[in-house]
Amino acid sequence: MTEVFLNLTDVFLNLTDVFLNLTDVFLNLTDVFLNLTDVFLNLTDVFLNLTDVLLNLTDVFLNLTDVFLNLTDVFLSLTDVFLNLTDVFLNLTDVFLTLTDVFLTLTEVSACFFLSCKANARAKLAKTGHGPHSSTLVCICVIRLFVLFYVLLVCKCVLPPGDNPPAVNRYISYHMFRSTKQQ
C-alpha cells in the first residue's frame, strides 16, 4: 500500500511540475502580450501625433485658402474699379466725340457763327490785356489736343473694330488683367 501511495505521490508531483511549467508558459505568454500591448499603445500615440500634425497642416491650408480668397476678392474689386473707370473714359470719349461732331457741324453749317465766336473771344482777350496768346488759352488748347489725341488713340488703335460693347468690355478686361499680372 505504501508503494501505491508513493506512486500516487510521484504522479501528483509530476502533475504539479507540468502545471508549474504550464504556468510559466502562461506567464511568458502574458509578458509577450503585455509587450505587444505596449507596442500597440506606442503606435497609437504615433498615429495620434501624426493626426495632430495633419490637422495643423489642414488649418494652415485653410488659412492660406482664406488669404487667397480675400486676395481674389480684392483683385475682383480692383477689376471692377478699373472697368468702371474704363466706362467713365468711354463715356467721356463719347461726349468728346459728340462735341467734336457738334463743332464740325457748326463749322460746316455756319462758318460765320464759328468765326464770329472766334472774333468775340479775341476781342474779349484784347480787352482784358491778355492778347491772343494767353496762357489759359494755350492750356485749354493743349488739353483739348491731348483729349482728342487720346480719343483718337482709343478709338483707332486700342479698341477692336466694330460696334460690340460686350466685346470691348472683354477686350479691356483681358488687357487690364494681363497688365496687372505682368506687374
94-142 pLDDT, tens digit per residue, is 777 777 777 666 555 555 555 555 556 665 656 665 555 556 666 677 7
**Whole-number pLDDT of residue 155:** 63
Radius of gyration of the chain (CA): 48
Query: Which residue, chain included where needed, has cell 460696334?
Result: 163
Domain segments of the chain as ranges: 11-182
pTM: 0.38
Task: Indicate left, alpha or beta for 61 from its phi (over 0: left) and psi (-120 to 50: alpha).
Answer: alpha
Instruction: Judge whether residue 23 has pLDDT over 80.
Output: yes
